[in-house]
Structure 1
Amino acid sequence: MLVRLLRAYVRPYSRAIGLVVLLQLVQTLATLYLPTLNADIIDKGVVNGDTGYILGTGGVMIAITLAQIVCAIGAVYYGARTAMAIGRDLRAAVFDRVQSFSSREVSHFGAPSLITRTTNDVQQVQMLALMTFTMMVAAPIMCVGGIVMALNKDVPLSALLLVIVPVLGVMVSLIVRSLRPLFRGMQERIDTVNRVLREQITGIRVIRAFVRDRHERERFKGANTELFDVAVRTGRLMSTMFPLVMLIVNVSSVAVVWFGGHRIDGGHMQIGAMTAFLSYLMYIFMSIMMATFMVMMLPRAEVCAERIQEVLATESSVVPPAAPVTELRGRGHLELRAVEFRFPGAEEPVLKDVSLVARPGEVTAVIGSTGSGKSTLLGLIPRLSDATAGTVLVDGVDVRELDAEVMARAVGLVPQKPYLFSGTVASNLRYGHPDASDEELWQALETAQAKDFVEAMDQGLDAPIAQGGSNVSGGQRQRLAIARALVRKPEIYLFDDSFSALDYATDARLRAALARETGDATVLIVAQRVSTIRDADRIVVLDEGRVVGTGTHTELMASNETYREIVLSQLTEEEAA
């Protein structure tokens, strides 16, 4: 999985990678040549007392060292740039795929896991690419070159490599096999810590209100301790690798000096050759150490690559149309025909055979008990999810055939939980209409009954808004979200219980202002509060995902028992009449 992922994202940088390999090759060849020159200085210069030879060969060594330094700097520079570019492309690809997901896919992965996959998982793959370009390219060249040069110096002494290298290989492979499941557990526990922390930061007011600080500390401590335990086990296993490698390196050095000393004593080898052989042995071990370091990173990077690929391979259930309709000829006529929606694996659908019509210039309301599918129904119109059966039509066109930009211009949604982005009041209001003037923003704020509190802010339209709108109240957040939809001036307004945080007086003023502002548009309101929808032109009653009544307030009070029960749970008989 890791190789497949990297192959796809490395391809655009093949020239840069080719340059890195070339620079690493030159650098490694220069490194391998230096011990031979050093051996010549000892055997031909020092032993014979030839100062001129020592100086001349030393000058050549300095020139080769300078070339080695230049190539090393170039290889690291281009390798790091390429690795960072691959990480950037991976993050962009994951982000783009997540942006295409419907609420179904987002719920499947979970927001904390998607954040971890986009950041930490990509970072692990990026680090592997960086180490590969800066270290791993040179490691096999140095290992093979070191073996060749060692054989060139003394073939019998090189027989030690036949024992040393297999022992190292077996040891490293056993440790790596044990590391892989630990790294997968570590990434999953990072997800858990991310999720718990995100919940606690988001729900800090609830935690304080119920004095659950100690409980949440224990909850976070549990998740954090689980991550700590896995990390310690992983670190303990990783920490055993380098001492074992160094043990083998030192034992091998002693063996070379021991057997090499006997060969020098027997006249079969020179002192300079043994010195060079020791250097080549160190280079071989150095390359194995680099490979070992890479192999230690490999299991975690493989796990991360699998998690990234899971996101990239997941297709959204909301599929873009092959030949999108780019123009609507109507004025916002909305119709649902025998719509059904079922979550994957669910025994019963959330919505069953739902049909309704919402016309321009009219207010259509949807009411029902909690869990009757009201918000799910509203989410099918802007394609937050797609109906599993039936058709949703805007001006006679199936929404699954509409271009996304056309849909965005035609439909304005105010969700049940309005979300404001970090920035200013103005940047949030212009989210759907970047070119809106200040006058249009103030007009929308006035209609949404938000003008007074925005004017009271120190900087007015430039007043800062915290992430999620946490620095304004729930009612202010709802009114700003309504104003954001009004700035866009869509043909269809969808209000998903968007007045629930408002007091009755503000609710009444807001609905009166909306009636003037949206008089020619199609308005579809989902509400729990009867007073919000009793004056609607048409009220649709949902019960357990089915339409059980349609009509005006007066008609439904007379003929529909479900609606009557909902109304009388909130109003007296006299108020309802």
Structure 2
Amino acid sequence: MIRLFRFLKPFTLPVVLVLVFVFLQTMSELYLPTLMADIVDKGIVQADTTYIWQIGAYMLLVAAGGALCSILAAYVSSRVATGYGKNLRHQVFEHAEHFSLQEFDKIGTASLITRATNDITQVQQVLIMMLRLMVMAPMMCIGGIVMAISKDAQLTWVLAVVVPVLALAIIVIAMKGMPLFKSMQKMLDKLNLVLREGLTGIRVIRSFNRVDHEKQRFHEANSDLTDVAIRVNRIMAFMMPVMMLVMNFATIAIIWFGGIRIDNGDMQVGNLMAFIQYAMQIMFSLLMLSMMFVMIPRASASAVRINEVLDMKPDITDPTQAKHPSVLHGTVEFRNVTFNYPGAEQAALSDVSFTAKPGQVTAIIGGTGSGKSTLISLIPRFYDTNGGQVLVNGVDVRDQTQQALRARVGFVPQKAMLFTGTVADNIRFGKEEATDAEVEHAAHIAQASGFIGDMKDGYQSLISQGGTNVSGGQKQRLSIARALVRRPEIYIFDDSFSALDFKTDAKLRAALKNETTEATVLIVAQRVSTVMDADQIIVLEEGRIVGIGTHRELLDTSDVYREIVSSQLSEEEIA
């Protein structure tokens, strides 16, 4: 947790101010019992009304000063903690944005969300307490002991007995609770995961009548978290009764033995009252520390999880000195490329070599799990190859900056992803500065202008979260428009026509042909009708190229391609 305090550097001055205000507040609280003792011993006992009024007014002034310092300390510490939390969230999010897909797979999206929200909130809350209580409690404890000794050294043996008992009780309770706080964060991760899956997959869940199953999963995750939280709170619930019991016994002992000393003339009534207050301040300072012990274990567990994210180094980084491609305008070349997913026994791609040139359409086809999506994921460098090279414009993608490389690519993923905002905003996601004419042109080419025109507000119509208010085919066409508005050198369509009917598919491919005459186009598809007009077709099977050529050439030379074609087309259509 201490390592996260490096993000407090921008708040050095406010932190110093908080410490000053807390110091002044503590001094005022330590001074008030002495003033009260003076009122009793010198004012009330001697019947000096003027002295009572004078010291009483002074007490009000000191109390008001302490209250003002307390308010200022609370305000500034809250500003520091919230600003710190904001910066830390930004740092975690920005760092996670540089992760490759492997890092996301390793940590998990649900866990990343929990770490960026709940975990940082835990650390933020503890920071507020630390800025105030961590400073105030030791000062109050030490100052209270000094002031109690100054009032009557003989009675401090009561404190010498009580304080160790209280400290021991706090330590025992805190040690019981620490492991449970750590497990709570992991259970919160699990609950977040189950909740996220249950909400995002609601259509699948309902279609397979698995609502009761998902309710049970959520109930189990929720019950696990609740049970641990109850166990922790039961343990921590002992803290206050133990504190009050010890404090009350301490008060009884102080009054009993203090009364004896007053009766013997060794102590004054005012000093006894002050001594009781100082004893309460000492024990309340220990209570403050116990509250810290309650919060710190959970925050420490959260800090470890945050540091795991910040310490994780992305596998894919930009080169120290980037190379600038020559004027090849979109040429993509694979040279003996091999790729393995982490932990996988079998290679996803083996010895893949081909060239996709500008002005040509390169189609990739193959069975499920043959490596089609994996292959095109290597072009924008979502993953790095284990062997061989992927070259864009004659330069290895690892020798180019990720931003420069991806600026050349218009990528349409297999699963169409839309963002909350308007239709125009989603298309402009590909090119922020695109004009209205460019947005409309891209939508027209993507065969999306028709259904956009039918929407209530046209291009200003709102898209709900995840694009749930448009169909699968409409989502795909908007995703294609987003890539088209960018006018990149390389277009990558990862099975992006699967939700389109044959008529729309044909019209879209015809429009694309005229739009992408100077660009390199790579299409991953399951339909033979989508790829048969391509300039070259690459046939994949179990991560290897088993055929490459035009539709007619592959019908003569590739058994795998011929099998795919015959499963989709009739003999008349093949002929």
Q: TM-score, normalised by structure 2?
A: 0.98
C-alpha distance in 2 between matches for 1:296 and 1:14: 26
Count of matched residue positions in the alignment of Structure 1 and Structure 2: 575
Letter in 1 for 2:532: R
CA drift of 1:328 comes to 5.4
C-alpha distance in 1 between matches for 2:347 and 2:246: 65
C-alpha distance in 2 between matches for 1:204 and 1:298: 38
C-alpha distance in 2 between matches for 1:324 and 1:267: 88
**Could you tell me which residue of structure 1 aligns to residue 151 of structure 2?**
153
CA drift of 1:191 comes to 1.1
C-alpha distance in 1 between matches for 2:387 and 2:267: 85
C-alpha distance in 2 between matches for 1:71 and 1:336: 68
**Could you tell me which residue of structure 2 aligns to residue 5 of structure 1?**
4
Do 1:380 and 1:392's aligned partners in 2 also have CA atoms closer than 8 Å?
yes
Which of 327, 339, 357 lines up with 1:359 in the alignment? 357
C-alpha distance in 2 between matches for 1:430 and 1:530: 31
Do 1:146 and 1:284's aligned partners in 2 also have CA atoms closer than 8 Å?
yes
**Could you tell me which residue of structure 1 aligns to residue 382 of structure 2?**
384
The secondary structure found in structure 2 opposite 1:540 is strand
Do 1:475 and 1:502's aligned partners in 2 also have CA atoms closer than 8 Å?
yes
| Comparing 399-408 and 544-553, the one that deviates more | 399-408
**Could you tell me which residue of structure 2 aligns to residue 117 of structure 1?**
115
The secondary structure found in structure 1 opposite 2:568 is coil
| Comparing 336-345 and 36-45, the one that deviates more | 336-345
C-alpha distance in 2 between matches for 1:176 and 1:346: 43
**Could you tell me which residue of structure 2 aligns to residue 457 of structure 1?**
455
Which of 256, 259, 266 lines up with 1:258 in the alignment? 256
Which of 52, 63, 87 lines up with 1:65 in the alignment? 63
Alignment of 1:21-36 (within 5 A): 21-36=19-34
C-alpha distance in 2 between matches for 1:510 and 1:413: 16
**Could you tell me which residue of structure 2 aligns to residue 522 of structure 1?**
520
C-alpha distance in 2 between matches for 1:320 and 1:257: 73
| Comparing 497-506 and 49-58, the one that deviates more | 49-58
CA drift of 1:327 comes to 6.2
The secondary structure found in structure 2 opposite 1:490 is coil
**Could you tell me which residue of structure 2 aligns to residue 132 of structure 1?**
130
| Comparing 173-182 and 110-119, the one that deviates more | 173-182
Alignment of 1:332-481 (within 5 A): 332-481=330-479
C-alpha distance in 2 between matches for 1:139 and 1:324: 55
C-alpha distance in 2 between matches for 1:576 and 1:290: 82
C-alpha distance in 2 between matches for 1:483 and 1:554: 31
**Could you tell me which residue of structure 1 aligns to residue 506 of structure 2?**
508
Structure 2 residue 564 is the aligned partner of structure 1 residue 566: yes
Which string of whole-angstrom CA distances, capped at 9 and with x for unpartnered residues, describes residues 420-479 of structure 1?
000010000001211111111111111111110000000000000011111100000000
**Could you tell me which residue of structure 1 aligns to residue 86 of structure 2?**
88
C-alpha distance in 1 between matches for 2:510 and 2:212: 47
The secondary structure found in structure 2 opposite 1:137 is helix
What do you get for the CA RMSD once the two structures are aligned?
1.2
CA drift of 1:287 comes to 1.0
Which string of whole-angstrom CA distances, capped at 9 and with x for unpartnered residues, describes residues 17-76 of structure 1?
111111111110111011001101111111111112111111211121121122111111
Do 2:19 and 2:132's aligned partners in 1 also have CA atoms closer than 8 Å?
no
**Could you tell me which residue of structure 2 aligns to residue 176 of structure 1?**
174
The secondary structure found in structure 1 opposite 2:67 is helix
CA drift of 1:212 comes to 2.1
**Could you tell me which residue of structure 2 aligns to residue 247 of structure 1?**
245
Do 2:381 and 2:402's aligned partners in 1 also have CA atoms closer than 8 Å?
no
Do 2:325 and 2:394's aligned partners in 1 also have CA atoms closer than 8 Å?
no
CA drift of 1:77 comes to 1.1
The secondary structure found in structure 2 opposite 1:489 is coil
Letter in 2 for 1:471: N
**Could you tell me which residue of structure 2 aligns to residue 298 of structure 1?**
296
Which string of whole-angstrom CA distances, capped at 9 and with x for unpartnered residues, describes residues 343-402 of structure 1?
223222211111111000000011111111111111111111111222111101111222
CA drift of 1:81 comes to 0.6
Which of 521, 545, 561 lines up with 2:543 in the alignment? 545
Do 1:80 and 1:133's aligned partners in 2 also have CA atoms closer than 8 Å?
no
Letter in 1 for 2:379: I
Letter in 1 for 2:333: E
The secondary structure found in structure 2 opposite 1:353 is strand
CA drift of 1:12 comes to 2.3
C-alpha distance in 2 between matches for 1:443 and 1:516: 13
CA drift of 1:485 comes to 0.2
The secondary structure found in structure 2 opposite 1:569 is helix
Do 2:430 and 2:482's aligned partners in 1 also have CA atoms closer than 8 Å?
yes
Distance 1:387 1:256, change over 3 A: same
| Comparing 215-224 and 15-24, the one that deviates more | 215-224
CA drift of 1:262 comes to 1.1
Which of 477, 490, 493 lines up with 1:492 in the alignment? 490
Which of 551, 554, 557 lines up with 2:555 in the alignment? 557
**Could you tell me which residue of structure 2 aligns to residue 39 of structure 1?**
37
**Could you tell me which residue of structure 1 aligns to residue 574 of structure 2?**
576
C-alpha distance in 1 between matches for 2:200 and 2:177: 35
Which of 304, 316, 319 lines up with 2:317 in the alignment? 319
| Comparing 142-151 and 197-206, the one that deviates more | 197-206
Which string of whole-angstrom CA distances, capped at 9 and with x for unpartnered residues, describes residues 211-246 of structure 1?
222222122111111111111111111111111111
C-alpha distance in 2 between matches for 1:473 and 1:196: 26
C-alpha distance in 2 between matches for 1:323 and 1:209: 52
Letter in 2 for 1:545: G
Letter in 2 for 1:142: M
Do 1:80 and 1:134's aligned partners in 2 also have CA atoms closer than 8 Å?
no
Do 1:327 and 1:406's aligned partners in 2 also have CA atoms closer than 8 Å?
no
Do 1:448 and 1:510's aligned partners in 2 also have CA atoms closer than 8 Å?
yes
C-alpha distance in 2 between matches for 1:479 and 1:67: 67
The secondary structure found in structure 1 opposite 2:296 is helix
CA drift of 1:569 comes to 1.7
Distance 1:211 1:561, change over 3 A: same
C-alpha distance in 1 between matches for 2:193 and 2:528: 37
| Comparing 167-176 and 291-300, the one that deviates more | 167-176
The secondary structure found in structure 1 opposite 2:277 is helix
**Could you tell me which residue of structure 2 aligns to residue 143 of structure 1?**
141
The secondary structure found in structure 1 opposite 2:485 is helix
C-alpha distance in 2 between matches for 1:435 and 1:346: 42
Do 2:418 and 2:467's aligned partners in 1 also have CA atoms closer than 8 Å?
yes
C-alpha distance in 2 between matches for 1:474 and 1:71: 60
Which string of whole-angstrom CA distances, capped at 9 and with x for unpartnered residues, describes residues 400-430 of structure 1?
2222332232011000001000001000000
Which string of whole-angstrom CA distances, capped at 9 and with x for unpartnered residues, describes residues 69-115 of structure 1?
22111111111111111111110111011111111111111111110
C-alpha distance in 2 between matches for 1:108 and 1:66: 55
Letter in 2 for 1:187: Q
Do 1:326 and 1:403's aligned partners in 2 also have CA atoms closer than 8 Å?
no
- Identity level (%): 51
